[in-house]
């Protein structure tokens, strides 16, 4: 089974530009999550999709971040306009069902550097 | 207040020895789950082990075991017989089932170095 795929693996953009990160979850996984790790700090929750619906977006830092999951398959996270503090590693994860002990399956992350 | 605390930014262990990675947590939700993830240098996050707050026994998965001390709110990961491939970043995490939905909260991580 293919894992969670994230694209691109690295992105370097200038402040003020726009970047779109993509996540392809494991096929059949209804739950899709975005997390972010700023260098050296804890991994922080951004939002959670159940199929195409945003279940919880309490972690989105501000309105420069827009996440979508059209059709309930892959998801995109757009940052527009990017700021220096947006630099970090953005992880996507997916899980199936509502069983409590399901760990997430994570992608390898997108390392975003804003210069 | 931090909900997950990992006080060891880095740890060294000799190959074939056991190592304990510390994790303490804070929650008022009686129903919660504790997780450990491994992040090797390749970047992906790998789920290792789970412990539920109502589980009576400590969770074990192969060489991984979770030393769950509920009263002390600690969930330390024990890796037995360390291998060179265990060198990685390890994250402790928690999910609060009544109040947190599906959101998982992570600690800052501990980097483990296994010496040959």
| Digit-coded pLDDT (tens) for A18-68 | 999 999 999 988 899 999 998 778 889 999 999 999 999 999 999 999 999
How sure is the predictor about A12, in pLDDT bands with cuts at 50, 70 and 90?
very high
Say if the Cβ atoms of A100 and B95 lie within 8 Å. yes
User: Among partner residues B48, B97, B108, which is closest to A100 by beta-carbon distance?
Assistant: B97
Q: In angstroms, how far is CA A21 from the centroid of its own chain?
A: 7
- What DSSP assignment string belongs to B12-74? EEETTS-EEE--EE----SSEEEEEEEE-TT---EEEEEEETT-SS--EETTEEEEEETTTTE
Q: In angstroms, how far is CA B15 from the centroid of its own chain?
A: 20
* Best of B60, B102, B106 to mutate (most A CBs within 10 Å, chain A): B102
Of the candidates A85, A80, A77, the one whose C-alpha atom is nearest the C-alpha of residue A115 is A85
Please, is B38 exposed, middle or buried when counting C-beta atoms within 10 Å of its C-beta (0-12, 13-18, 19+)? buried
Ramachandran quadrant class, A71 (left: phi over 0; alpha: psi -120 to 50; beta: rest): left
**Mean pLDDT split into 10-residue runs, chain B, 116 residues:** 88 97 95 93 89 93 96 97 97 88 87 96
- Do strands B32-39 and A65-68 pair parallel, antiparallel, or not at all (unpaired)? unpaired
Peptide bond into B40 cis (omega under 30): no
CA–CA min distance B74, chain A (Å): 18
Average pLDDT value over all residues in chain A: 91
SS3 A65: strand
Count CB-CB contacts under 10 A for residue A10: 10
pLDDT at A5: 94
Of the candidates B110, B85, B95, B107, the one whose C-alpha atom is nearest the C-alpha of residue B15 is B85
User: Among partner residues A42, A89, A101, which is closest to B108 by beta-carbon distance?
Assistant: A42
Q: What is the Cα–Cα distance from B96 to A104, expressed in whole angstroms?
A: 15
Say if the Cβ atoms of B102 and A42 lie within 8 Å. no
pLDDT digits (tens, 9 = 90+) for A85-114: 999 999 999 988 655 556 788 899 999 999
CA–CA min distance A30, chain B (Å): 12
């Amino acid at each position: 089974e293919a894992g969670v795929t994230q694209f691109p693996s690295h992105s370097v953009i200038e402040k003020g530009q726009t970047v779109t990160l993509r996540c392809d979850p494991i096929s059949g996984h209804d739950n899709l999550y975005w997390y972010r790790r700023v260098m050296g700090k804890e991994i922080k929750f951004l939002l959670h999709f159940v199929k195409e619906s945003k279940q919880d977006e309490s972690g989105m830092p501000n309105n420069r971040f827009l996440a979508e999951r059209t059709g309930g398959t892959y998801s995109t996270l757009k940052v527009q306009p990017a700021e220096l503090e947006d630099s970090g590693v953005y992880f996507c994860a997916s899980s199936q069902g509502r069983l409590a002990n399901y760990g997430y399956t994570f992608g390898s992350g997108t390392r975003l550097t804003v210069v | 207040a931090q909900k997950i605390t990992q006080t060891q930014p880095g740890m060294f262990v000799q190959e074939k020895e056991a190592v304990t990675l510390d994790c303490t947590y804070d929650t008022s939700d009686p129903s919660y789950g504790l997780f450990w993830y491994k992040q090797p240098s390749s970047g992906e996050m790998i789920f290792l082990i789970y412990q539920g707050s109502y589980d009576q026994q400590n969770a074990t998965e192969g060489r991984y075991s979770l030393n769950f001390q509920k009263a002390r709110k600690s969930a330390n990961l024990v890796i037995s017989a360390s291998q060179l491939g265990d060198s990685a970043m390890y994250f402790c995490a928690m999910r609060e089932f009544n109040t947190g939905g599906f959101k998982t909260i992570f600690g800052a991580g501990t980097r483990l170095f296994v010496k040959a």
